[in-house]
């Protein structure tokens, strides 16, 4: 076997060199805190045009063909969510407790990386399985890399061709190429509207270079019949872009005071040793299905993930193999028994902080009656607001506007003040804020004037998955209480039911008679109604037909003892609001997604393997103007494992100007509002009394906007028209008649060798 070395990031650097920049942290001591790599990239309006190729490049890098040259065909698993730029910066991403946003979504690929000698090109053949339920598609990728990037040639010499092909569909649904040479970069892609009859989308990019820090180019996009075109130029200091109407100038310097930054991935480390904080949140599994095929997946805190073709073939009691990787050689396999239910129970444990400590931290709350709220307010809306401790009032900043593309926060024309006494008749404020720990309640019953914010508590809840052995035997529900029958009736075709809940419990905020209480029992990881039927519903199509329930159905808050729900002024009735006084309560959810369902495994002794829940940590935001309204505040964050830290408050910025905008503005992107610095003092978070260090791993830089005269004075001008690549340059690696044909996807039975960039053996 010939051992060949090739620069591992050559392809990624080639794609990113002009617009995105690539940064490596200088290693200090040997700890992971010092040595884990940091990546920076630039986000610009032109980034939309190369999102697809950036995603493919990210996926290819995560398969590590550089590390497994001349080792034959191997399987790689890549988390699509880690490489999809749209998944993380949608303006509808502004806050949700939906666990689906934190779960892995793996793609399976077969990779073959080969090179005859150091004098020959490296060829990488890849087959990426993009199958979804009842839909099968494969991306065929061929790469030929001749020369790695260098000082004189920043992009190297390479060619990447790809074709996205659906089973039984002639031709490519998506066909493109990316080519790097001594003169620059060419990129072209044509896509048949996602295969959905939406017309043909075309992207063409040409980037020419004149040295390592100077270049120019053009980008043209045709999407759904709309055409967008940009010309651009840059030097070492400035970047200039025009769409023919708006001429924009930006500083390329990351340390410019007006540059924007957002971090999408962080690691947490032990403050003393600098080693990574590792969670036992899941492990890889292998499943031999009744159809005779072997599938690779994962089981963990957020449930079970398997490819769509396999997911329909597993059930409670199925045997799966745990795949454990050693330091070298093939992994070992151990049989486990799957424990699976079509719903899951979550426990909410009470935490609190003072209202004064929540100063300026935004939350969302639903307002039914706007009498006394503020002039011009609309009833039955969700509002964004915060407590202003200096003014002693709540400030309303926006409303939540929902449509087919999701929900976005629309800024009000000016902030509106609301007295704390407005919420007194309702007992207080009920809302949701990731930065305050999720669901929250601010008790304000009896308040008539000013409040002592140091004496008022903000109650929030810590969530934990409930395992079967820990499920309460009986649970009681007063509001939004489904049964198996009400679920089936509501989601039936042409149903006229108002909700999937028992009618008397739908939007029931008032006292409830004993006859209106819905009781449940539990067993085999399931919630059972009075008819002992399992309270589950997993028909994806039926749920999507009711958009408000497309992500699943969740009960109201569940009591373990009905006496705990007795109303204070009438013990013969029961009040849902009494749950706010309890240390714990529960909620049940059901749906078609892995995060709606319980999944775990039993070992050979019959014991269920318990996985670690995300760590809840606090971060004291530095008291600096750079952090805006959150300066000097303490926020709550969740850590799901290496790279997954969430809870930093967000804002929306324009992809055209990089300036702050309302989230309902066209071309807006939702981004974290600030960055936790890579600093042993300012980057410290706490898990209880344990100090930890945060380190950013994946950082976005948004150039600081300047007057266009600044670019002109620096000699950055938009020159002559650039000749763009065309469809004539396309090649098809899925076509047996093509010179770059890579063949049909090989069958590989070995466990995955690479999982999201980590070479296992």
Residue where the block lists tokens 């790695």 = 148
This prediction's pTM: 0.79
Question: 599: part of which helix (H) or strand (E)?
Answer: strand 598-602
Q: What share of the chain is helix, strand, coil (3-state, %, to 5)?
A: 15, 40, 45
Q: What angle do CA 411, 417, 418 make, to 5 degrees?
A: 115
Q: Report the distance separating Cα 32 and Cα 271, nearest Å.
A: 11
Minimum mean pLDDT range among 321-335, 376-390, 522-536: 321-335
Q: How far apart are CA 760 and CA 641, in angstroms?
A: 18
Average confidence score pLDDT of the chain: 88
How many CA atoms does the CB half-sphere of 6 hold within 13 Å? 35
- What is the chain's alpha carbon radius of gyration, rounded to the nearest angstrom? 28
Band (pLDDT 50/70/90 cuts) for residue 403 is low
Lowest mean pLDDT segment, chosen from 77-81, 91-95, 364-368: 91-95
The four Cα atoms 349, 352, 357, 360 give a dihedral, to 10 degrees, of 50
Give the mean model confidence (pLDDT) for residues 670-688.
94
156 versus 27: which is more confidently predicted? 156
Residues of the chain with pLDDT > 70: what percent? 91
Please, which pLDDT band fits residue 609 given cuts at 50, 70 and 90? very high
pLDDT-based confidence at residue 170 (cuts at 50, 70, 90): confident
Predicted confidence at residue 307, as pLDDT, reads 87
- Is residue 182 predicted with pLDDT exceeding 90? no
Lowest mean pLDDT among 20-24, 65-69, 77-81, 420-424: 20-24
The per-residue pLDDT for 97 is 43
Instruction: List the single range of 250-254, 440-444, 558-562, 586-590 with lowest mean pLDDT.
Output: 250-254
Say what the pLDDT of residue 589 is: 98
- Residue 139 CA to residue 163 CA, distance in Å, equals 6
**Separation CA 596–CA 533 (nearest Å):** 18
Averaged pLDDT, 270-292? 93
Is residue 36 predicted with pLDDT exceeding 70? yes
Residue 396, pLDDT score: 97
Confidence (pLDDT) at 93: 42
pLDDT at 285: 94
Domain ranges within the chain, ordered by starting residue: 10-91+100-235+716-759, 267-278+614-655+667-702, 282-342, 352-442+453-460, 468-596
What whole-number percentage of the chain has pLDDT above 90? Answer: 65
More confident of the two residues 588 and 2: 588
Place 719 in a pLDDT band, splitting at 50, 70 and 90.
confident
Sign of the Cα pseudo-torsion (300, 302, 303, 306, in order): negative
pLDDT of residue 26: 32
What lies within 8 Å, CB to CB, of 361 at 6+ separation is 386, 387, 433, 435, 436, 630, 633, 635, 649
Q: Is the pLDDT of residue 561 over 80?
A: yes
Residue 683 CB neighbours (<10 A)? 21
Within 10 angstroms of residue 35's Cβ, the number of other Cβ atoms is: 13
- Position 224 scores a pLDDT of 76
Quick check: 739 pLDDT over 50? yes
Q: Is 648 helix (H, G, I), strand (E, B) or coil?
A: coil
pLDDT for res 622: 95
Both tokens of 591, joined, read: 């749906």
Q: Please tell me whether residue 643 adopts helix, strand or coil conformation.
A: coil
Q: Which residues contact 210 (CB under 8 A, 6 or more apart)?
A: none
Which residues are within 8 A (CB) of 308 and not within 5 positions of it... i.e. 6 or more apart?
131, 132, 133, 134
For 77, 209, 375, the CA distances from 395, given in Å and listed in that order, are: 46, 51, 13
pLDDT level of residue 10 (50, 70, 90 thresholds): very low
User: What is the arithmetic mean of pLDDT over 612-641?
Assistant: 92
Lowest mean pLDDT among 293-297, 489-493, 558-562, 727-731: 293-297
Predicted pLDDT of residue 136: 83
Provide the pLDDT for residue 172: 93
pLDDT tens sequence across 302-314? 889 888 888 889 9
Report residue 249: phi and psi, to 5°. Answer: -125, 140
Strand partners for 314: none
Q: Per residue in 327-385, pLDDT tens?
A: 777 889 999 999 999 999 999 999 999 999 999 999 999 999 999 999 999 999 999 99
Confidence of residue 103 (pLDDT cuts 50, 70, 90): low
- Looking at residue 347, what is its pLDDT? 97
Looking at residue 18, what is its pLDDT? 31
Specify the pLDDT at position 743.
96
The per-residue pLDDT for range 196-248, each reduced to its tens digit, is 445 689 999 998 887 778 889 999 999 877 888 999 999 999 999 999 899 99
Does residue 8 register a pLDDT over 80?
A: no
Picking from 78-92, 149-163, 487-501, 700-714, which range would have the lowest pLDDT averaged per residue? 78-92
pLDDT(95) > 60:
no
């Amino acid at each position: 076997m010939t051992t060949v070395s090739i620069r591992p990031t050559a392809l990624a650097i080639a794609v990113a060199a002009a617009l995105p920049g690539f940064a490596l942290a200088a290693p200090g001591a040997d700890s992971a805190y010092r040595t884990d790599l940091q990546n920076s990239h630039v986000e610009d309006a032109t980034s939309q045009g190369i999102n697809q190729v950036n995603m493919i490049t990210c996926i290819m890098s995560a398969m590590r063909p550089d590390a497994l040259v001349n080792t034959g065909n191997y399987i790689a698993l890549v988390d699509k969510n880690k490489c999809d730029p749209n998944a993380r910066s949608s303006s509808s991403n502004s806050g949700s407790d939906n666990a689906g946003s934190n779960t892995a979504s793996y793609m399976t690929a077969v990779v073959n990386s080969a090179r005859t000698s150091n004098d020959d090109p490296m060829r990488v053949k890849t087959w990426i399985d993009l199958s979804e339920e009842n839909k099968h598609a494969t991306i065929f990728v061929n790469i030929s890399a001749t020369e790695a990037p260098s000082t004189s040639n920043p992009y190297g010499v390479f060619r990447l061709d790809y074709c996205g092909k659906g089973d039984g569909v002639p031709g490519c649904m998506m066909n493109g190429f990316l080519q790097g040479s001594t003169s620059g970069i060419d990129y072209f892609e044509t896509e048949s509207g996602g295969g959905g009859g939406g017309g043909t989308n075309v992207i063409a990019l040409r980037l020419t270079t004149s040295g390592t820090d100077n270049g120019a180019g053009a980008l043209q996009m045709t999407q759904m019949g709309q055409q967008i075109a940009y010309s651009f130029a840059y030097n070492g200091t400035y970047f200039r872009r025009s769409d023919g109407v708006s001429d924009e100038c930006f500083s390329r310097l990351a340390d410019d005071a007006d540059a924007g930054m957002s971090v999408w991935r962080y690691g947490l480390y032990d403050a003393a040793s600098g080693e990574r904080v590792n969670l036992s949140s899941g492990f890889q599994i292998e499943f031999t299905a009744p159809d005779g095929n072997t599938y690779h997946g994962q089981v963990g805190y957020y449930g079970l993930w398997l490819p769509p073709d396999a997911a329909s073939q597993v059930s409670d009691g199925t045997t799966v193999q745990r795949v454990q990787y050693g330091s070298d050689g093939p992994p070992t396999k151990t049989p486990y028994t799957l424990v699976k239910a079509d719903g899951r129970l979550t426990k909410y444990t009470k935490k609190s902080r003072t209202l004064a400590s929540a100063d300026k931290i935004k939350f969302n709350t639903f307002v039914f009656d706007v009498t006394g709220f503020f002039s011009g307010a609309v009833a039955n809306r969700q509002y964004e607001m915060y407590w202003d401790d200096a003014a002693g009032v709540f400030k309303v900043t926006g409303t939540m506007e929902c449509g087919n593309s999701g929900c976005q926060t629309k800024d009000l024309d000016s902030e509106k003040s609301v007295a704390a006494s407005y919420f007194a008749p309702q007992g207080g404020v009920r809302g949701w804020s990731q930065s305050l720990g999720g669901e929250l309640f601010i008790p304000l019953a009896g308040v008539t004037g000013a409040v002592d914010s140091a004496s008022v508590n903000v109650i929030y809840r810590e969530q934990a998955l409930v395992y079967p052995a820990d499920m309460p035997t009986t649970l009681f529900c007063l509001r939004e209480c489904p049964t198996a029958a009400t679920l089936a009736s509501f989601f039936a075709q042409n149903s006229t039911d108002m909700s999937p809940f028992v009618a008397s419990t739908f939007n029931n905020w008032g006292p409830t008679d004993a006859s209106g209480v819905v009781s449940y029992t539990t067993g085999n990881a399931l919630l059972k109604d009075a008819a002992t039927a399992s309270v589950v519903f997993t028909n994806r199509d039926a749920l999507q037909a009711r958009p408000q329930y497309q992500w699943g159905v969740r009960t109201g808050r569940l009591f373990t003892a009905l006496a705990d729900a007795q109303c204070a002024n009438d013990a013969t009735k029961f009040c849902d609001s009494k749950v706010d006084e309890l240390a714990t309560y529960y909620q049940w959810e059901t749906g078609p997604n892995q995060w709606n369902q319980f999944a775990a495994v039993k070992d050979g002794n019959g014991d269920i393997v318990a996985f670690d829940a995300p760590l809840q940590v606090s971060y004291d935001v530095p008291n600096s103007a750079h952090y805006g309204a959150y300066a000097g505040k303490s926020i709550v964050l969740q850590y799901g494992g290496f790279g997954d830290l969430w809870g930093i408050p967000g804002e929306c910025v324009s992809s055209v100007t990089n300036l702050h905008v309302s989230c309902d503005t066209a071309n807006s992107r939702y981004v974290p509002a600030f960055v936790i610095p890579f600093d042993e003092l300012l980057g410290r978070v706490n898990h209880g009394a344990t100090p930890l260090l945060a380190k950013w791993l994946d950082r976005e830089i948004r150039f600081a906007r300047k007057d266009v005269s600044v670019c002109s004075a620096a000699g950055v001008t938009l020159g002559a028209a650039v000749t763009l690549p065309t469809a004539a340059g396309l090649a098809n690696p899925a076509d047996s008649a093509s010179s770059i044909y890579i063949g049909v996807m090989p069958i590989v039975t070995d466990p995955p060798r690479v999982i999201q960039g980590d070479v296992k053996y």
